[in-house]
Chain A
Amino acid sequence: MLVINVTTFSPAQTGSLAEVLADLAAPGDVLVLVGDLGAGKTAFSKAYGAALGVDEPMTSPTFTLAREYEGRLRLHHLDVYRLEQMSEVLDLDLPELLDSGGVVLIEWGDVILPMLQADYLEVRFTFGEGDDDRLIELRPVGERWMARTDQLEAACALLSDGSGGSSC
Chain B
Amino acid sequence: MLVLGIESATAQVGVAIGGHEGVLASAHSARDRRHAESLTPQIEFVCSQARVELSEIGVVAVDVGPGLFTGLRVGIATAMAVAYGLGVPMIGVSSLDLGAFAVEHSRRLIVPCYDARRGEVFTANYRSVPGGVQRLSDPVVCTPDELLASLMAKSEDVLMLGDGAQRHREVFSSISHVEFAGTSLQYPSARSLVDLAHPKALREEFVLPSEIEPLYLRLPDAEINWKTRDGR
Residue ranges of A at the interface with B (Cβ–Cβ < 8 Å)? 35-37, 39, 80-81, 83-91, 93-96, 98-100, 108, 111-112, 114-115, 117
A108 → chain B closest CB, angstroms:
8
| Residue in A83, A84, A96 whose CB lies within 8 Å of B69 | A96
Complex Cα spacing A117 to B218, Å: 13
Known contacts A90-B69, A90-B219; A95/B231 CB under 8 A? no
CB within 8 Å: A-B pair count: 60
Interchain CB contact under 8 A, A111 and B118: no
Number of chain B residues whose Cβ lies closer than 8 Å to a Cβ of chain A: 21
Interchain CB contact under 8 A, A96 and B68: yes
Interchain CB contact under 8 A, B231 and A37: yes
Interchain CB contact under 8 A, A96 and B117: yes
Known contacts A36-B230, A37-B231; A95/B118 CB under 8 A? yes
Residue ranges of B at the interface with A (Cβ–Cβ < 8 Å)? 33, 68-70, 116-118, 216, 218-226, 229-232
Interchain CB contact under 8 A, A111 and B69: no
Interchain CB contact under 8 A, B70 and A86: no
| Residue in A36, A84, A94 whose CB lies within 8 Å of B224 | A84
The 6 closest A-B pairs by CB, nearest first: A36-B231, A95-B117, A86-B220, A95-B118, A99-B117, A86-B222
Interchain CB contact under 8 A, B223 and A117: no
Interchain CB contact under 8 A, B224 and A95: no
Minimal Cβ-Cβ distance residue in B for A83: B224
Complex Cα spacing A66 to B118, Å: 19
Interchain CB contact under 8 A, B118 and A80: no
A68 → chain B closest CB, angstroms:
12
Minimal Cβ-Cβ distance residue in B for A81: B232
B232 → chain A closest CB, angstroms:
7
Complex Cα spacing A95 to B68, Å: 9
Complex Cα spacing A37 to B230, Å: 10
List of B residues within 8 angstroms of A35 by Cβ: 231
Interchain CB contact under 8 A, A84 and B223: yes
B11 → chain A closest CB, angstroms:
10
Minimal Cβ-Cβ distance residue in B for A38: B231
Central interface residue in A84, A93, A95, A100, by most chain B CB within 10 Å: A95
Interchain CB contact under 8 A, A114 and B69: no
Interchain CB contact under 8 A, A98 and B117: yes
Interchain CB contact under 8 A, A95 and B230: no
What are 25 A-B pairs at a CB distance below 8 A? Answer: A35-B231, A36-B230, A37-B231, A39-B231, A81-B232, A84-B223, A85-B222, A85-B224, A86-B224, A87-B219, A90-B216, A90-B218, A91-B69, A93-B70, A95-B68, A95-B116, A96-B69, A96-B70, A96-B117, A98-B118, A100-B33, A108-B232, A111-B229, A114-B222, A117-B118
List of B residues within 8 angstroms of A37 by Cβ: 231-232
List of A residues within 8 angstroms of B219 by Cβ: 87, 90
| Residue in A36, A80, A114 whose CB lies within 8 Å of B220 | A114
Complex Cα spacing A117 to B120, Å: 11
List of B residues within 8 angstroms of A94 by Cβ: 118
A90 → chain B closest CB, angstroms:
6
Complex Cα spacing A89 to B118, Å: 15
A70 → chain B closest CB, angstroms:
14
Complex Cα spacing A35 to B222, Å: 22
Complex Cα spacing A89 to B183, Å: 32
B223 → chain A closest CB, angstroms:
6
Minimal Cβ-Cβ distance residue in A for B225: A111
A126 → chain B closest CB, angstroms:
10
Interchain CB contact under 8 A, A112 and B118: no
